[in-house]
């Protein structure tokens, strides 16, 4: 089988020919159809995260590695102990697989399994940049209903991340003070999931008018360019005095500095940090304390949340997001384009 592997930080991916894996026991083999490319692929490939003040934090890179964790493919072979799935059927694969042996894994929180024990597809073991992906159990496979094959895999990372972030924001149906920062692929997915799952039309913020137009078209109640004068005052007006929750899909110094102010002096604001663009943030401690505010980080989502999300997906309630598709041999260029901000929406690689 053919795969495109990371052989060193920032280096072009290498085309590698190797044997097709054979599933044993509970394992299943997926033939990759399409694999979404998300910003964490850029960080994995680069090998670091920007932590501000010109400092970098290394991300753990297993080399060589076929990245790709937004996997959609056809089930082609199963081990002898596999039941309840159909050969020839297409599935989305939950990639945040743990060791199965630690406290987190035993409490159905395997996406929290440690960096040295986790077996995340496309991060710590080979993923969808390979023609075939070995998955250790059929319970990680999800039916995506009528979802376009370019989009389906993205529910396993960006969709799931958005869904889990929305759940952490403690939303009430119809509430009008949810603010989403970042109108890229993840922000757009979050917007559509917010509408479908929580009956909420968020206000969407970005610095790119073209992306904001896409968000408006996708159903944002209002779109705001944070570079414009009076942007935060406008949001405070639209939310009747204060944002209730801000979900930040950018995660940069400027996005947090902008978003954190949107609560004013209102108590109980929830700031959910998702994006990993990087940097640092100075917190005025007394303000944070007396406004009883919460800043939480969120990382992908649990297998249970994946089940909930895929039920919503199959019900057809979430409007599909447009996804550009490219051939897998363009993986290196696609990572570069994504890093440079040259991809307006979402992109996947097809085999
Ligand atoms: Zn574990
Ligand atoms: Zn991802």
Answer for the pair 83, 61: CB distance below 8 angstroms, yes or no. no
* pLDDT (tens digit per residue) in 138-148: 999 999 999 99
Distance 119 CA to ligand 1 centre (A): 9
Q: Categorize the per-residue pLDDT at 238 as very low, low, confident or very high, splitting at 50, 70 and 90.
A: very high
Q: How far apart are CA 110 and CA 102, in angstroms?
A: 9
| Fold held by 2-157+300-350 | Quinone Oxidoreductase; Chain A, domain 1 (3.90.180)
Residue 50: predicted pLDDT = 79
Provide the whole-model pTM. Answer: 0.94
Does residue 61 carry a pLDDT above 90? no
Per-residue CA distances from 128 to 10, 29, 137, 203, 343 (Å):
19, 12, 16, 34, 20
Distance 152 CA to ligand 2 centre (A): 13
Does residue 149 carry a pLDDT above 90? yes
Distance 118 CA to ligand 1 centre (A): 6
What are the helix (H) ranges across the chain? 39-46, 103-106, 149-152, 158-168, 185-198, 209-217, 231-238, 253-260, 285-290, 303-314, 331-339
Does residue 62 carry a pLDDT above 80? no
Task: Give ion ligand 1 contacts, CB < 5 A.
Answer: 98-99, 102, 105, 113, 117
Domain segments of the chain: what residues? 2-157+300-350, 159-297
* Among the bound ligands, the one closest to the CA of 300: 2
Please provide the average confidence, as pLDDT, over all residues in the chain: 95
Mean pLDDT confidence for 62-81: 95
Non-local CB neighbours of 206 within 8 Å, separated by 6+ positions: 181, 182, 183, 184, 187, 212, 215, 223, 225, 226
Residue 332: predicted pLDDT = 97
Q: Categorize the per-residue pLDDT at 105 as very low, low, confident or very high, splitting at 50, 70 and 90.
A: very high
Say yes or no: do domains 2-157+300-350 and 159-297 share a fold: no
Q: How far apart are CA 28 and CA 291, in angstroms?
A: 50
* Among the bound ligands, the one closest to the CA of 98: 1
Structure tokens at 84: 């309840």
Q: For the structural domain made of 159-297, what CATH number should be given?
A: 3.40.50.720
Q: Categorize the per-residue pLDDT at 55 as very low, low, confident or very high, splitting at 50, 70 and 90.
A: confident
Distance 160 CA to ligand 2 centre (A): 9
Q: What is the DSSP letter of 110?
A: G
């Amino acid at each position: 089988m053919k795969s495109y592997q990371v052989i060193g930080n920032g280096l072009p991916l290498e085309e590698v020919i190797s044997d097709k894996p054979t599933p044993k026991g509970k394992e299943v083999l997926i033939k990759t159809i399409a694999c979404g490319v998300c910003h964490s692929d850029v960080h994995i490939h680069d090998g670091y995260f920007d932590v501000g003040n010109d400092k970098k934090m290394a991300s753990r890179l297993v080399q060589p590695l076929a990245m790709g964790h937004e996997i959609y493919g056809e089930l082609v072979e199963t081990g002898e102990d596999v039941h309840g799935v159909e050969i020839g059927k297409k599935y989305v694969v939950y990639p945040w697989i743990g060791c199965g042996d630690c406290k987190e894994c035993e409490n159905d929180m395997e996406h929290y399994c440690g960096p040295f024990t986790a077996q995340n597809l496309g991060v710590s073991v080979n993923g969808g940049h390979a023609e075939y992906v070995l998955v250790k159990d059929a319970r990680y496979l999800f039916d995506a209903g009528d979802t376009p094959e370019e989009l389906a895999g993205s529910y396993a990372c960006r969709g799931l991340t958005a869904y889990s972030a929305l759940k952490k924001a403690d939303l009430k149906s119809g509430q009008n003070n949810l603010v989403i920062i970042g109108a890229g692929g993840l922000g757009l997915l979050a917007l559509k999931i917010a509408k479908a799952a929580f009956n909420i039309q968020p206000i969407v913020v970005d610095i790119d008018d073209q992306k904001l137009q896409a968000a408006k078209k996708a159903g944002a109640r209002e779109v705001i360019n944070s570079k414009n004068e009076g942007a935060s005052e406008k949001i405070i007006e639209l939310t009747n005095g204060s944002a209730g929750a801000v979900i930040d899909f950018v995660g940069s110094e400027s996005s947090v500095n902008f978003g954190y102010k949107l609560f004013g002096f209102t108590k109980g604001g929830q700031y959910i940090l998702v994006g990993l663009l990087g940097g640092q943030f100075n917190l005025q401690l007394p303000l944070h304390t007396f406004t009883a505010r919460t800043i939480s980080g969120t990382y992908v989502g649990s297998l249970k949340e994946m089940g909930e999300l895929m039920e919503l997906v199959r019900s057809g309630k979430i409007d599909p997001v447009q996804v550009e598709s490219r051939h897998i041999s363009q993986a290196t260029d696609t990572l570069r384009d994504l890093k440079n901000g040259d991809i307006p929406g979402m992109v996947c690689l097809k085999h």
